Amino acid sequence: MSTAPGSLPVTPGKIIAVHISYESRAAQRGRRPAAPSYFLKPSSSLAASGDAVERPEGTELLAFEGEIALVIGSPARSVSPAEAWSHVAWVTAANDWGLYDLRANDKGSNVRNKGRDGYTPVGPRLIDARAVEPTALRVRTWLNGELVQEGETGGLIFPLSQIIADLSQHLTLETGDLILTGTPAGASVAGPGDIVEVEVDAPHTPGAPSSGRLTSRVIDGPGDFDPVIGSLPSVDDLQREEAWGSREAAGLPAAPTAPAMSPELRDKLLKTPVAGLSQQLRKRGLDNVSIDGVHATRPGTKLVGVAKTLRFVPNREDLFRSHGGGYNAQKRAFDAVREGEVIVIEARGERGSGTLGDVLALRALARGAAGVVTDGGVRDHATVAGIDLPVFSQGPHPAVLGRKHVPWDTDLTIACGGATVQPGDIIVGDDDGVIVIPPAIAEEVADAALAQETEDAWIAEQVAAGHPVDGLFPMNAEWRAKYEAATEAETR
């Protein structure tokens, strides 16, 4: 690291960064943490103002994040929020660069995507922490001279004093340690030739002390990644959206709106057995709508929701190395499932491996999912059965994905249990099985099935009273007239 005036006084023993800490960033990401969470960056990632930052050849998502950096002045261990700020010596600017192409397999830890050499520039000047209030700091970021980020510490979910105190109850913050306190909305992608500047100041403090502008110039770098010793860079639309800050900024089409199912239709489908719905679908020429071979983890479970699809492909070792670990398609599907959706998994009927377990079932429950259907196995089967989430599968299996499957992609047409399922299809399940209903005819099918249920209940009463089924089931003209007369009498 440069020893120019204003650089850090010592090389930090630890660089600790906060994941999501600003309300604006949480709103942009669509998820608000209940407590702060952290990751570590190596000191070898440090750089100074004016240093170049490399985007490796063959990658596309080098993202900047302007942040307020705190330099610890005296050791802090189990300190209270009230005394936490007294352990901060200086405040300065930082840019928490990250290469989203490497993010998927290090989701959460950020070791490779944010730990690269030069990916933590700080400076250029230090602000005396005793001269500013921790609640009155501001961070701003410019991309090629245009202001793209601005946030004040009053907009933090977790105050700076809370972050320091929380960290100190788990580890000792030592003199010189650096804390990157998160970024506000507006973080985005930069490419070779772009200039990114970050400044931290205290605009409401007399003299408006400032770090000065921390400048980074993006350049091309080598991309000599060896697939034999580690996973290669890879991106998908979710990574593009999060790196750029929005689907629009990334040049992606608008995200599909939440699938529509009226409360009235849902109520009808909850009341209607799958057997009755299957019968009505067959009358309309749809015989191949059953997801075969799946059963509920808990007998008596009723499932109604809109399909969100996930596809596994057969395991191949090199593909599992590149797509199986980290923030893979399976985890992304469970993180993105919306209220009322059913995650339907194509596992090719291969039950020799689990396709979800208790942690993912809990995540689906927390997201408001209507349930999960897989034509593969379920790990932690007994625990999953105890979770208040309808899950239909081929049964239990203790093995993880890598034995049989590679999580591949989401939100596309799949095959599950011999049935074709498209995102947005209506999924209904009970003890008789699971069926797929085209949404365009779901209301019609539900109404017809409910009417048939009423008719069948009346027929059952007649059979219980001793009448033979011949002519009654199905009803001939004579019995039909009796039924209609009885129904009319009940409605008077």
Query: How far is the C-alpha of 407 from the C-alpha of 310, rounded, in Å?
Result: 8
Q: Give mean pLDDT, residues 396-400.
A: 92
Same domain, yes or no: 312 and 351: yes
- Give the domain-ending residue among 423, 443, 463: 443
The pLDDT assigned to 491 comes to 67
Same domain, yes or no: 364 and 417: yes
Query: How far is the C-alpha of 212 from the C-alpha of 197, rounded, in Å?
Result: 9
Whether residue 308 lies inside any domain: the answer is yes
Tokens for 218? Answer: 């993006």
- Give the domain-ending residue among 193, 209, 244: 244
Output the domain CATH number for residue 147.
3.90.850.10
Give how far Cα 168 sits from Cα of 16, 40, 74, 174, Å. 12, 15, 12, 10
pLDDT classification of 492: cutoffs 50, 70, 90:
low
131 three-state secondary structure? helix
Same domain, yes or no: 212 and 268: no
Same domain, yes or no: 221 and 294: no
113 three-state secondary structure? helix
Query: How far is the C-alpha of 64 from the C-alpha of 82, rounded, in Å?
Result: 32
Q: 240-257 as b/e, with b when 16 or more CB fall inside 10 Å? A: bbbbbbebeebeeeeeee
The pLDDT assigned to 48 comes to 94
Same domain, yes or no: 326 and 204: no
Q: Give mean pLDDT, residues 456-484.
A: 85
- Give the domain-ending residue among 184, 217, 244: 244
Same domain, yes or no: 195 and 306: no
Q: Which helix (H) or strand (E) holds 123?
A: strand 120-128
Same domain, yes or no: 351 and 397: yes
**Dihedrals phi, psi of 336, to nearest 5 degrees:** -105, -5
Query: How far is the C-alpha of 430 from the C-alpha of 298, rounded, in Å?
Result: 10
Tokens for 148? Answer: 């793209």
- The gap between the terminal CA atoms of the chain, to the nearest Å, is 89
pLDDT classification of 190: cutoffs 50, 70, 90:
very high
pLDDT in tens, 416-462: 999 999 999 999 999 999 999 999 999 999 999 998 888 888 888 88
Give how far Cα 10 sits from Cα of 13, 52, 351, 432, Å. 9, 21, 56, 68
Same domain, yes or no: 272 and 229: no
Output the domain CATH number for residue 376.
3.50.30.40
Total tally of structural domains belonging to the chain: 2
Whether residue 457 lies inside any domain: the answer is no
pLDDT in tens, 204-247: 899 999 999 999 999 999 988 887 788 788 888 888 888 898 88
Residue type, 449: A
Strand 290-291 relative to strand 414-416, pairing: unpaired
Whether residue 466 lies inside any domain: the answer is no
Tokens for 82? Answer: 């009230």
**What single string gives the DSSP state of each residue in 251-284?**
TPPPPPPPPP--HHHHHHHHHS-HHHHHHHHHHT
Tokens for 458? Answer: 């009346």
pLDDT in tens, 88-136: 999 999 999 999 998 877 767 889 999 999 999 999 999 999 999 999 9
Tokens for 483? Answer: 């039924």
Instruction: Give the CA radius of gyration of the chain.
Output: 29
Tokens for 467? Answer: 């009448």
Whether residue 210 lies inside any domain: the answer is yes
Query: How far is the C-alpha of 407 from the C-alpha of 411, rounded, in Å?
Result: 13
The pLDDT assigned to 458 comes to 84
User: Can you give the pTM of this predicted structure?
Assistant: 0.59
Same domain, yes or no: 278 and 158: no
Whether residue 479 lies inside any domain: the answer is no
Is pLDDT of 1 > 70? no
Whether residue 477 lies inside any domain: the answer is no
Whether residue 472 lies inside any domain: the answer is no
CB 75, CB 87: distance < 8 Å? yes
Same domain, yes or no: 223 and 147: yes
**Counting beta carbons within 10 angstroms of the beta carbon of residue 325, is it exposed (0 to 12), middle (13 to 18) or buried (19 or more)?**
middle
Domain residue limits at 332: 263-443
Same domain, yes or no: 228 and 366: no
CB 405, CB 355: distance < 8 Å? yes
pLDDT classification of 5: cutoffs 50, 70, 90:
very low
Beta strands in 265-417 (DSSP E): 290-291, 295-296, 303-314, 341-346, 371-374, 391-393, 405-410, 414-416
Whether residue 125 lies inside any domain: the answer is yes
Same domain, yes or no: 234 and 361: no
